[in-house]
Amino acid sequence: MPKISDPIQISKLTLKNRYVKAPTVCGHASEEGFVSDRLLDLYQAEARGGVGMVICHAAFIRQDGQGFRSQTGIYDDKCINGLNRLAETIQAAGARAAIQIFHAGAIAQPKIIGGRTPVSPSSIPLFLDPTQKTRALEDEEIEELARLYGVACARAKEAGFDAVEIHACHGSLIQQFLSPSFNSRTDRWGEDRLLFARRVIQEIRKAIGPDFPLLWRISAEEFIGAKGFTLKDTIESFLPAYLQEGISCVDVSA
């Protein structure tokens, strides 16, 4: 039986051991989402601890998808130079470097996203202010967002990261499409609540190729009864679809 200290392979990437620093919020980027010296110092210290890989916290793919202040951005090519410094800092400290790709969707706050109205599969009350509502995405906007996940992953690869991880958990946009509580659409995106996740994976694979390590972080159950998806949904429906579309690894977070 393998030990946690043994090497492991994810796609064509070999980790020196099975210790992975999970992505956790730190808020150390600049207000615009650029990598800062403080952010570099944090991840350098984490990598020096001896883990096989460090996964940097959620990087937002579009400015209306930012989830918290001083969050790392990957929404523009101008982010790449700083992200390259981040990847190289982690690698120089002895660990593989991955970055998580994120869009907040309905859990965004207008005051953080420049006064914009947060978007989601269906119009629902805002997470922190139920007196306001999100804006339901149009069909072509959903396709564009799927494409932007791919663009963001291509930026991560160009910046020198060894892997990417998609934030499909904790109530963010991809999970919102899976959830009956967030997604009450009557079009193709609601009839097949897995469709958006499938399209995201397809666009990512188109952008980074078939072999680049693609991790997929999930909440296995919503724990809100009939209004949410269940562990059975995840095991019998969601995971087979993700694997069929070409993810490399599943990260179960909740």
pLDDT tens readout for residues 71-101: 999 999 999 999 999 999 999 999 999 999 9
In this structure, how many other beta carbons lie within 10 angstroms of the beta carbon of residue 132? Answer: 11
Rounded distance, CA 234 to CA 221, Å?
A: 7
The confidence score (pLDDT) of residue 127 equals 79
The two beta strands, 20-21 and 135-136, are: unpaired
Q: Which structure tokens are listed for 32? A: 């615009």
The confidence score (pLDDT) of residue 238 equals 98
pTM for this prediction: 0.97
pLDDT at residue 125 above 90? yes
Q: Which CATH number fits domain 8-252: 2.30.30.60, 3.20.20.70, 3.40.220.10, 1.50.10.10?
A: 3.20.20.70
- Arithmetic mean of pLDDT over the chain: 97
Helix-then-strand count for the chain, H and E: 8, 10
